[in-house]
Amino acid sequence: MKKEKGTFAAGCFWGVEAAFRRVDGVLSTAVGYTGGAEENPTYHAVCSGTTGHAEAVEVIYDPSTVTYDDLLSVFWQCHDPTTLNRQGPDVGAQYRSAVFYHDAEQQAEAIASKEKLQGSGRYREPIVTEITPAAPFYMAEDYHQQYLEKQRGRIA
């Protein structure tokens, strides 16, 4: 089976990861940090706003079952791509909207998808999502992985 990778940032990575984990053809997900300068950042360092990293989700998928364009659709639906460095109550560059592409094909698909969404009239404000080359991805601490699944029944 062929496997491909997509990396997306859309605010707090817990909910974003949960959205991708529900997609048929997604083989695995991991939350972590990417797009910044510091090597091996911690959650607390990323939250300080000094590392330049975004909270992101790395998605490993089977392209014979789910397309990259399908993943882009999930990405656009799980957050507001018109808010700069903010998703809901979470504020800071670590919560920015970004697609980190892994090859020229992903770059082209992400740009086309963003342009199509912007032209759809769904949003009054411009889409501020970054489309940028993938950078080193640093896994977040274990307690962040599949966080919402671990919390089922614990959150009122």
**Is there a contact between 118 and 124 (Cβ–Cβ < 8 Å)?**
no
Q: What angle do CA 73, 107, 145 make, to 5 degrees?
A: 55
Q: Is 47 a catalytic residue?
A: no
**How many Cβ atoms sit within 10 Å of the Cβ of residue 96?**
23
Angle, CA 114 vertex, CA 74 and CA 16 arms, to 5°:
30
User: How many Å apart are CA 63 and CA 105, to the nearest integer?
Assistant: 13
Catalytic option among 9, 10, 12, 31: 12
Please identify every residue annotated as catalytic: 12
